[in-house]
Copies of this chain bind each other. A is one copy, B any other.
């Protein structure tokens, strides 16, 4: 809504640099803190939260919330909302928790359809597909019943 002027602070630059170094990896706020701390960079967790929330708004990061009892994950997005070269969407396996990156035009196609037919513009940065990944499907085929 109202755009606030943004200062170029040391903490923000560090965070940005950190995320750019690990494209395609998702991290919780706490993990970001720890990783930076290990590199000798100390940023308060509140700052991490605040900046990362900003970045989500700016479309720089994407945020996932699987379950309230688990910390949200953030991941770096390229300018075009992808995690790397191509537009990227995310699937989270409900069994193993793994995040799978999918580059798939079918999803883009769906997005167009929802926009034109249903007037709903998807935000790929926040939309996550939940389900069961191939490996876990195999496992539960044997384990179930």
**Copies per complex?**
2
Q: How far is the CB of A71 from chain B (nearest CB, A)?
A: 8
Instruction: Using C-beta atoms within 8 Å of the partner chain, give the interface range for chain A.
Output: 35 or more
CA distance A104 to B46 in the complex (A): 41
Give me 11 other A-B pairs in contact (C-beta within 8 A), A65-B67, A68-B68, A100-B120 excluded: A1-B140, A91-B118, A102-B114, A102-B120, A104-B113, A104-B118, A106-B109, A114-B129, A114-B131, A120-B132, A122-B130
Q: Which residues of B contact A106 (CB under 8 A)?
A: 109-110, 113-114, 117
Main secondary structure on A side of the interface with B: mixed
Digit string of A84-128 for contact with B (CB within 8 Å is 1, else 0)?
000000010110000010101011011001100111111100111
